[in-house]
Structure 1
Amino acid sequence: MLTGALALSAGAVHAQATVKLGCVLPLSGGSAAVGNQTRAGVIAAVEQINKAGGIKAMNGAKLEAVFGDSQSKADVGVSETERLIQRENVSVLCGAFNSAVTFPSTEVAERSKTPWVAIGAVKDEITERNFKYTFRINNKAIYDAREQLDAMDLLAKETGQKVQRIALFYEGGDWGRSHAANIRKLAAERGIQIALDEPAPPNQVDFTSQLLKIRAAKVDALVLALYTPDQLLFTRQLAEQRLDLPFGVHSAGGGTEDPSFYTTVNPKHVAYYFVQEDWQIDILEANKDPRLQDIDKRTREMLGYGMSAYVAQGVSAVYVIADALERAKSSDRQALRDALAATDITAGPALFTGYQRIKFDEQGQNTFAHGVISQNLGGKRLTIWPAENRMSTTKPAWPVPTWAKR
């Protein structure tokens, strides 16, 4: 287990000023794999910026990332936030992936008037509280849910075969419940029936009973929102039961975006899975920016595998903060907050997540955030939605083959 602070001083020169960036992440606990991927993205971006001359408007000031381990627990995340603000005297914060950690931790930052750039956390209410110091680059939960159903609608339009009944199965925390609530709302608007709606019990060691319920509900598709450990168990047991779903499994990310999940799971078990991705999974093939390729290489050195949505989000957060520092010309928290509020980025590494623009509304939400929907085809997750992001060689499978025909 990682304890305390993990500090990185990426080539800081003592004669120069440094800007402390605090980042609260789940470096141990149930979301540790994701937290450490985000940490790798933060480190790679800090190193890259410092190597390129640091913050030029501040005479080449170097960034210094200081990490706090939330252990995937809300109370620990809050205490680590307080430590980073009060003892480490950071100028800005980022994190914390888990919505259940990010929601209360940003309250601490707001009271302390310390800007916070949210990473990964999608709970809608994070940017719906009239806070002035919280900014979110990535999707809020309603965006994720809309993208899943938009992909179903696109495939129905292309094939004439529409999803009528779905099942919802999700982790019981803030993320899962928020996603399920949004799916309910949007499904009702589109005339899609929810035949089963169930949260996963905590610390589950067997999903047999839930899978039997899904089978009995006779649904066309299953919408999932599970973190990596539960996703591994559920995926294996679904395959063992050979549960056929005509239009497949549609995951809201979580475990199915985690590279460590794919190093463990049987590739046959995730064939034809649909995943709501927080970055364009095939972007490395399309974007030859040497900075992106450098970060992918550095990530492989740190983790043993390359870029992921979580690495990309860490990179994006650091570059957004660096852009604000350049415009603020100061690490003063209020000046930095005001610069973040005025952010409007249309090019560069901050967009390695696959966005075309980053601009925050009055609540601190990037309204230009979006993901893509991939389908696992031939052992690769390939973008199938939106249509303009789909490669010409990608042919979605809709409906998906039954287990007997795979």
Structure 2
Amino acid sequence: MRSMRRKLCAAFVPALVSGMAFFGVPAMAQSVVKMGCVLPLTGGSAAVGNQTRAGVLAAVDIVNKNGGIKGLGGARLEAVFGDSQSKADVGVTETERLIQRENVAVLCGAFNSAVTFPSTEVAERNKTPWVAVGAVKDEITERNFKYTFRINNKAIYDAREQLDAIALLAKESGKNVKRLALFYEGGDWGRSHAANIRKLVAERGFEIVLDEPAPPNQVDFTSQLLKIRSSRPDALILALYTPDQLLFTRQLAEQRLDLPFGVHSAGGGTEDPSFYKVIDPKSVAYYFVQEDWQVDMLDVNKDPVLHDIDKRTRDMLGYGMSAYVAQGVSAVYVIADALERAKSADRQKLRDALAATDITSGPALFTGYQRIKFDENGQNTFAHGVISENLGGKRQTVWPLENRASGTTPVWPVPAWSQRK
């Protein structure tokens, strides 16, 4: 008899709740919307992952303090994190946990392309929308997936911007680059970047004189630096994560390797504030960095929300805004915008709202973009970066011209080590 009562109650209670509106009693509004974020919070990319986490936490707190998701009766956002450890298999496991056990409405992450690529497959199978953060591998948004959306650049954009910047600086000075060396991390990101450089240089008249991936877990780059020296490039294109970037930069400076038109880094470690906290500033003088946000944004944008997030980030991490903080902020505001329009945390409705995104103002654009609108593959085609040069100990935007401050003058070619103070 007790078993019968329990079964009757179990059947009756949901019907009663769903039918409350019929009897004039409003159904309970959703109070919390969970968004899952898979990030490298430990391991080789932990510095970057924790910057992205700081941006997510700051943005979630601001959204909630401003009334939450008003389209859902003021529902609060809750960020639930999964640590990928920069490992693909761990990222996949964490994605499954967030979907199945935490029952998140939407996911974001995972910075590393090698983690994001398989993890978005899990999200696609489970029909859970995923907002890609940081990962640039082209194929992430080239698989006809319906639940994957990427706010930032894909790899081909990064490569094109590096070469466009070189072309602009050459045109302005009348001093051209011909010989390029490529050195990059051996995972999905580095190999994808190198492949795109190869694809683009043929039509631009460059010659690639060295093309080499970095071995995993490298503790000494002496042999690779010797190869670069012997190939006599005009400029070196790099794609390295923070630990490798730190070691490589120190050894390049120790060997005083002259590159007439400098080092051109595709973000990675050279976008990471933790890198600049421990590197000798003289080691990165005249470095060109393809930035995933406008590094001097705080100087040109006086939005109090931006400066509030910068302060919060300093309190959390000991340093302020970075590309990775900005990307975390952007992901939260893109998701919040979709929730407002969907008026639902249902995964399918949220997916449809994300597909219809068209943002032209507000904190989602703190990355430096003018617009976020996804194409049929989920790629924001309005994404772009800037190229900075480290001048006088500060990274200053030199490309594109419309982002360059009036007082900024690029140094091209760069001084030899013997001519630097």
Alignment TM class, shorter chain as reference = over 0.9
Which residue does 1:351 correspond to in 2? 365
Match of 2:303 among 283, 289, 296: 289
Which residue does 2:69 correspond to in 1? 55
CA distance in 1, matches of 2:30, 2:111: 32
SS at match of 1:382: strand
Which residue does 1:77 correspond to in 2? 91
Verify: 1:29 aligned to 2:9, yes or no: no
Which residue does 1:373 correspond to in 2? 387
Report the aligned-residue RMSD.
0.8
CA distance in 2, matches of 1:166, 1:404: 22
1:88-107 equivalences in 2 (<5 Å): 88-107=102-121
Equivalent AA in structure 1 for residue 409 of structure 2: K
Which residue does 1:364 correspond to in 2? 378
Verify: 1:129 aligned to 2:143, yes or no: yes
Verify: 1:195 aligned to 2:209, yes or no: yes
Which residue does 2:414 correspond to in 1? 400
Q: Between Structure 1 and Structure 2, how many residues are aligned? A: 393
Which residue does 1:7 correspond to in 2? none
Contact kept? 2:129, 2:350, Cα under 8 Å: yes
CA distance in 1, matches of 2:41, 2:85: 6
Which residue does 1:309 correspond to in 2? 323
Equivalent AA in structure 1 for residue 144 of structure 2: N
Deviations 1:338-381 (A, max 9, x none): 00000000000000000000000000000000000000000000
Verify: 1:143 aligned to 2:160, yes or no: no
Deviations 1:191-218 (A, max 9, x none): 1000000000001010000000000001
Which residue does 1:332 correspond to in 2? 346
Contact kept? 2:30, 2:72, Cα under 8 Å: no
Task: Give 1:15 deviation, angstroms.
Answer: 8.5
Equivalent AA in structure 2 for residue 396 of structure 1: P
1:174-323 equivalences in 2 (<5 Å): 174-323=188-337
CA distance in 2, matches of 1:243, 1:16: 60
Deviations 1:124-148 (A, max 9, x none): 0000000000000000000000000
Contact kept? 2:151, 2:380, Cα under 8 Å: yes
CA distance in 2, matches of 1:61, 1:236: 49
**Structure 2 unpaired stretches of 5+:** 1-27
Equivalent AA in structure 2 for residue 178 of structure 1: S
Task: Give 1:188 deviation, angstroms.
Answer: 1.1
Contact kept? 2:29, 2:72, Cα under 8 Å: no
Structure 1-normalised TM-score? 0.96
SS at match of 2:74: coil
CA distance in 2, matches of 1:225, 1:259: 16
Which residue does 1:159 correspond to in 2? 173
Identical amino acids, percent of aligned pairs? 84
Deviations 1:230-275 (A, max 9, x none): 0000000000000000000000000000000000100000000000
Task: Give 1:189 deviation, angstroms.
Answer: 1.3
**Structure 1 unpaired stretches of 5+:** 1-13
In our comparison, the structure showing a higher alpha carbon Rg is 2
Structure 2-normalised TM-score? 0.93
Query: Structure 1 residue runs of 4+, over 4 Å off?
Result: none
